[in-house]
Structure 1
Amino acid sequence: MRNRIREIRLEKGISQQKLADEIGVTRQAISLFEKGDRDPKLETWIKLADYFGVSVGYLQGIEEQSTTDIQNQKRWNERERSFLKALRESYMLDGSWEDLAQTFKREWHKHELEEWSVQANARD
Structure 2
Amino acid sequence: MNRLKELRKEKGLTLKQMGQLLNMLDSTLSQYENGRRRPKEETWKKLADFFDASVPYLQGATTYEVLDPLEKGIYDHVTVAMDRAFNEYALLPETREKILKTIAYSIENGEFN
TM-score range, shorter chain: 0.5 to 0.7
Partner of residue 17, structure 1? 16
Query: How many corresponding residue pairs?
Result: 67
Q: Describe how 1:17-56 pairs up with structure 2 within 5 A.
A: 17-56=16-55
**Code of the aligned partner of 1:60:** Q
| Whole-angstrom distance in 2 between the partners of 1:48 and 1:59 | 8
- The normalised TM-score by structure 1 is 0.49
| Whole-angstrom distance in 1 between the partners of 2:40 and 2:53 | 17
Deviations 1:32-77 (A, max 9, x none): 00100000111111111100110011000124354xxxxxxxxxxx
Partner of residue 120, structure 1? none
| Whole-angstrom distance in 1 between the partners of 2:18 and 2:32 | 12
- Provide structure 2 residue ranges, at least 5 long, that are not aligned to the other structure: 66-113
Partner of residue 5, structure 2? 6
| Whole-angstrom distance in 2 between the partners of 1:17 and 1:29 | 10
Shift of residue 25, structure 1, vs aligned partner: 1.4
The structure whose Rg is larger is 1
| Whole-angstrom distance in 2 between the partners of 1:9 and 1:60 | 14
Answer whether contact 2:56 2:64 (CA < 8 A) is retained.
no
Q: 1:55 to 1:37 in 2, by over 3 A?
A: same
Question: Comparing both chains, which one has the higher relative contact order based on Cα–Cα distances under 8 Å and sequence gaps of 6 or more?
Answer: 2
More helix by share: 1
Deviates more, 1:56-65 or 1:9-18: 56-65
Identity of aligned residues (%): 42
| Whole-angstrom distance in 2 between the partners of 1:21 and 1:41 | 19
Q: Describe how 1:58-97 pairs up with structure 2 within 5 A.
A: 58-66=57-65
Shift of residue 23, structure 1, vs aligned partner: 1.7
| Whole-angstrom distance in 1 between the partners of 2:19 and 2:63 | 25
Aligned-residue CA RMSD (Å): 2.0
| Whole-angstrom distance in 2 between the partners of 1:65 and 1:3 | 13
| Whole-angstrom distance in 1 between the partners of 2:9 and 2:43 | 19
